[in-house]
Chains A and B, each alone.
Chain A
Amino acid sequence: MNEETSAPEESGHVLFWLTCAGLATALWAIFLFVPTEKTEGAVQRIMYFHIPSAWLAFFAFFIVFVSSILFLWKKDREWDIYAQSSAEIGVVFCSLVLITGPIWAKPIWGAWWVWDARLTSTLILWLIYVAYLMLRGHVESGSARARYAAVVGIAGFLDIPLIHFSVLWWRTFHPKPKIISAEGLGTGMDTTMLVTLLLSLGAFTLLYFLLLGQRIEIEKTKDEIDHLKKERLYSH
């Protein structure tokens, strides 16, 4: 048995421990470092999970967008694997956004859900990428499936600028952007709150790369199995 670890395995271990440290630091900041917000009380701490989950979902869908364009251009399966893996992670975190949002909204707005532009466009984004995953699950594997999925992956991303600007273009219940706003970077927030949010955003970004690595490995193992099955079929 070879006890030595390969370079990707070693970088995977480093990323794992960095993510654990990042998440632990973020949790410490969320529950012990940042003071309780005056008007909303402790429930406002949901923001430190809600915004990073939204960031992670948008970033994941951005990777789907870029990988899908590169797949259509280069016709390389590797880009298709990146898009598929990232889409699944995006859907998981977009689901968390759609769950934590209503939990935060109920005590503050008095309603679990309102059909305003931000909430509705986020729900549409989630539905688009769920449809993307369903398409991949129902169409026979091959380049046609990858092509159809790439088109949906690219088109779906167009909803993200709409989500971002929805609170500026229309009157909504949802608050306006707090980190990137017209007044400048992080100007609408107390420094300790901004630091805590940035720590949480950093930790969730590390978590994204960790999950992406795991998900890509699954897809590559599936490809290897398919390849060996074909080899076996032709050898008989």
Chain B
Amino acid sequence: MDHLGFLFAANVFVWGGILLYIFTLKKRQQALRKDLELLKASLNKDSES
């Protein structure tokens, strides 16, 4: 009657989903910060030359 497999599956989806979303947010932010730093460096280089 307990259907523990269903409870386990629901937990996997909820916590897995939340962690996956947090992970993608972190990855996106890291990639954008990298782009921003590169852009700033290239702008500084342009202004110096």
A46 CA / B5 CA spacing, docked (Å): 11
* Contacting pair B32 A43 (CB below 8 A): no
* Contacting pair A100 B14 (CB below 8 A): yes
* Contacting pair A41 B2 (CB below 8 A): yes
Which residues of A are found within 8 Å of B36, using beta-carbon distances? Answer: 221, 224-225, 228
A45 CA / B4 CA spacing, docked (Å): 10
* Contacting pair A43 B6 (CB below 8 A): yes
Which residues of A are found within 8 Å of B39, using beta-carbon distances? Answer: 225, 228-229, 232
Which residues of B are found within 8 Å of A207, using beta-carbon distances? Answer: 18
What per-residue 1/0 map shows which CB atoms of B25-44 lie under 8 Å from chain A?
Answer: 11011001101100110110
A116 interface residue per 8 A CB criterion: no
* Contacting pair A96 B13 (CB below 8 A): yes
A229 CA / B32 CA spacing, docked (Å): 13
Chain A nearest Cβ from B14, distance in angstroms:
5
Chain B residue at minimum C-beta to C-beta distance from A50: B10
A104 interface residue per 8 A CB criterion: yes
* Contacting pair B7 A99 (CB below 8 A): no
Which residues of B are found within 8 Å of A218, using beta-carbon distances? Answer: 25, 28-29, 32
Interface residues of A in 42-57 (CB under 8 A from B): 42-43, 45-46, 49-50, 53
Task: Tell me the number of A-to-B contacts counted with CB atoms below 8 Å.
Answer: 83
Interface size on A, residues (CB 8 A): 34
Chain B nearest Cβ from A86, distance in angstroms:
14
What per-residue 1/0 map shows which CB atoms of A176-216 lie under 8 Å from chain B?
Answer: 00000000000000000000000000000001000100110
* Consensus secondary structure, chain B interface: helix
A124 interface residue per 8 A CB criterion: no
A217 interface residue per 8 A CB criterion: yes
Chain B residue at minimum C-beta to C-beta distance from A236: B46
* Contacting pair A228 B7 (CB below 8 A): no
* Contacting pair B13 A215 (CB below 8 A): no
* Contacting pair A232 B43 (CB below 8 A): yes
Q: Which of A43, A96, A106, A235 contacts B17 (CB 8 A)?
A: A96
In this complex, which of A42, A50, A104, A232 has the most chain B Cβ atoms within 10 angstroms of its Cβ?
A42
* Contacting pair A92 B43 (CB below 8 A): no
- Which A residues contact B (CB, under 8 angstroms)? 36, 40-43, 45-46, 49-50, 53, 92, 95-96, 99-100, 103-104, 106-107, 207, 211, 214-215, 217-218, 221-222, 224-225, 228-229, 231-232, 235
11 of the cross-chain contacts (CB-CB < 8 Å) are A41-B1, A42-B2, A49-B11, A92-B17, A96-B18, A100-B13, A107-B3, A224-B36, A228-B43, A231-B43, A232-B46
